[in-house]
């Protein structure tokens, strides 16, 4: 580049890139060219190949994809899709079926009536080859069991674990089936409240007297420990070896259960993100499970927590401290089980004005606790306007997380559809700090 070109670039706005661990929180995935461009720039910057002239705000996604196509084709993506696991296939497949490109003609996915799916998005709008995108479901334990692929759910898994005891596989899938039975019963026109609960006799209630969640957790944890070598091998290849890890939206309670009963995998993903080996991007449910609380959702209906929330004893002590588990402010049964975020954040994806009063009420309680414990006053307008949108919510969250030590009540950040939050992390004096920034 000549001196004139260099001077020209220096006068334009070069966006600072995250120096360390990065997480993206969305309600509907990346839906604007600005969001996709930023994400691609960050990924290329992390790989050390992004040129200065391509770091500008006005650079187009198409230019980046074309110019860096050979680099983008090398990316490895792990796609976690448990939020769809219990849903009927006939509801999933049509939402993925179309002959266009993601976002084309104003559609969310690849055509009329389709939804945004991460695998299709990174293939169509980043140029990542389909064969480099691995779609998995934790419930299927792809590190342990040879399982067929299911359209719109997960890819074929063949870990070929030689020492696997067939009795372990049978026991596990019997317990998993109980969660399906309970889910179906609770989804009926007249929900069978009590399904899957401890000591019950409705569909999904284990003979052991446990809830179906705790039955599954007991067996799942045992298998993850028994076959730790297989789990470690899979994590090294698929989590540590991934450039990007993405999570789909869907049933947040069921997704949280998948993480509750597989804390060994959650630990590996948290460590991979915090050591800056991979970037995580969540969508709706996969955003909520990263937060301190996933309670503000219309999906938690009567009987769901009792059936599908595993006991807090199954949560990892490496990432959940006593303040997380003391039942003050946030009940452990609604804790997000993928603890990628340290700030006292709670999410409300798909936010609309109907939630405004509840968000403000929750944030006023958080303000009261913060000011009492720290002696620091929060600007009144920051709390009063925190239900307006994620920009103000992020500002309030950043303020509280900077000074709070044992904040129990979370800050609820409303994320409207189409919004994206970039969370960057750095460590100083052995303390983790997070910065929340909205990308339109």
32 C-beta neighbours (distance < 10 Å), count: 15
* Tokens standing for residue 226: 């028994």
* Tokens standing for residue 421: 């939050």
Q: What is the per-residue pLDDT across 323-370, written as a single tens digit (0 to 9) for each? A: 666 666 566 677 899 999 988 888 766 777 777 787 888 888 888 888
Q: How many Å apart are CA 76 and CA 89, to the nearest integer?
A: 26
Query: Where does the pLDDT of residue 93 fall: very low under 50, low under 70, confident under 90, or very high at 90 and above?
Result: very high
**Tokens 């969250």 appear where?**
397
Q: How many Å apart are CA 26 and CA 349, to the nearest integer?
A: 7
CA trace torsion 156, 159, 160, 164 (10° rounding): -110
Instruction: Choose the weakest-confidence range: 63-72, 120-129, 237-246, 386-395.
Output: 386-395
pLDDT at 388: 63
Identify the residue with better confidence: 223 or 436: 223
Q: Residue 257 belongs to what H/E stretch?
A: helix 252-260
With 50 as the cut, is the pLDDT of residue 4 above it?
A: no
Cβ burial, residue 158 (10 Å; 0-12/13-18/19+): exposed
Cβ distance 339 to 267 under 8 Å?
A: no
Q: What is the per-residue pLDDT across 377-389, written as a single tens digit (0 to 9) for each? A: 888 777 777 666 6
* CA distances to 254, 257, 346 from 213, in Å: 10, 7, 23
Percent of the chain residues past pLDDT 90, beyond the cut: 65
Q: What is the per-residue pLDDT across 27-38, written as a single tens digit (0 to 9) for each? A: 999 999 999 999
Q: Residue 229 belongs to what H/E stretch?
A: helix 228-238
**Tokens 């670039």 appear where?**
9
Q: Which one-letter DSSP state was computed for residue 94?
A: H
Cβ distance 75 to 129 under 8 Å?
A: no
Question: Apex CA 31: angle with CA 344 and CA 77, to 5°?
Answer: 75
Q: How many Å apart are CA 34 and CA 15, to the nearest integer?
A: 12
At 392, give phi and psi (nearest 5°). -70, -40
Cβ distance 355 to 382 under 8 Å?
A: no
Cβ distance 154 to 81 under 8 Å?
A: yes
pLDDT at 217: 98
Q: What is the per-residue pLDDT across 145-183, written as a single tens digit (0 to 9) for each? A: 999 999 999 999 999 999 999 999 999 999 999 999 999
Q: How many Å apart are CA 207 and CA 372, to the nearest integer?
A: 48
**Tokens 């991934």 appear where?**
242
Tell me if the pTM is above 0.85: yes
Identify the residue with better confidence: 131 or 401: 131
Positive or negative torsion for Cα 146, 148, 154, 156 = positive
Q: How many Å apart are CA 54 and CA 38, to the nearest integer?
A: 11
Cβ burial, residue 300 (10 Å; 0-12/13-18/19+): middle
Q: Which one-letter DSSP state was computed for residue 243?
A: S
Helices 33-46, 118-126: crossing angle, 10 deg rounding: 80
Beta bridge partners of 154: 150
């Amino acid at each position: 580049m000549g001196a004139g070109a260099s001077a020209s670039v220096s006068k334009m706005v070069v966006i600072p890139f995250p120096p360390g661990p990065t997480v993206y929180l969305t309600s509907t995935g990346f839906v604007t060219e600005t969001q996709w461009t930023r994400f691609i720039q960050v990924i290329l910057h992390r790989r050390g190949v992004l040129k200065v002239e391509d770091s500008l705000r006005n650079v187009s996604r198409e230019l980046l994809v074309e110019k860096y196509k050979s680099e983008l084709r090398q990316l490895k993506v792990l796609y976690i899709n448990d939020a769809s696991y219990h849903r009927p296939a006939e509801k999933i497949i049509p939402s993925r079926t179309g002959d266009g490109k993601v976002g084309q003609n104003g559609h969310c996915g690849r055509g009329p009536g389709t939804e945004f799916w991460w695998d299709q998005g990174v293939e169509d709008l980043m140029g990542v080859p389909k064969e480099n995108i691995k779609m998995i479901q934790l419930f299927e334990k792809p590190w342990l069991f040879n399982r067929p692929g299911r359209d719109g759910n997960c890819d074929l898994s063949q870990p070929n674990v030689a020492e696997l005891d067939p009795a372990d596989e049978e026991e596990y899938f019997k317990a998993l089936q109980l969660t399906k039975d309970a889910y179906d019963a609770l989804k009926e026109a007249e929900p069978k409240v009590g399904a899957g609960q401890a000591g019950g006799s409705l569909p999904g209630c284990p003979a052991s007297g446990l809830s179906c969640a705790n039955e599954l957790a007991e067996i799942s944890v045992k298998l993850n420990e028994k076959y730790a070598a297989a789990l470690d091998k899979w994590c090294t290849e698929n989590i540590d070896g991934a450039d990007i890890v993405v999570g789909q939206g869907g049933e947040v309670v069921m997704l949280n259960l998948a993480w509750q009963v597989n804390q060994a995998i959650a630990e590996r993903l948290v460590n991979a993100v915090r050591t800056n080996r991979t970037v995580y991007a969540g969508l709706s449910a996969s955003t909520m499970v990263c937060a301190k609380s996933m309670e503000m959702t219309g999906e938690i209906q009567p009987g769901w927590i009792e059936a599908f929330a595993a006991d807090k004893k199954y949560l990892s002590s490496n990432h959940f401290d006593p303040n997380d588990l003391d039942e003050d402010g946030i009940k452990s049964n609604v804790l997000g089980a993928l603890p990628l975020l340290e700030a006292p954040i709670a999410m409300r994806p798909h936010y609309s004005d109907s939630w405004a009063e509840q968000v403000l009420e929750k944030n006023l309680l958080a303000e009261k606790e913060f000011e009492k414990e720290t002696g620091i006053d929060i600007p009144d307008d920051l709390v009063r306007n925190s239900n307006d949108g994620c920009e103000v919510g992020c500002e309030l969250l950043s303020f509280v997380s900077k000074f709070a030590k044992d904040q129990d009540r979370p800050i609820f950040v409303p994320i409207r559809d189409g919004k994206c939050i970039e969370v960057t992390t750095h460590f100083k004096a052995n303390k983790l700090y997070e910065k929340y920034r909205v990308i339109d």
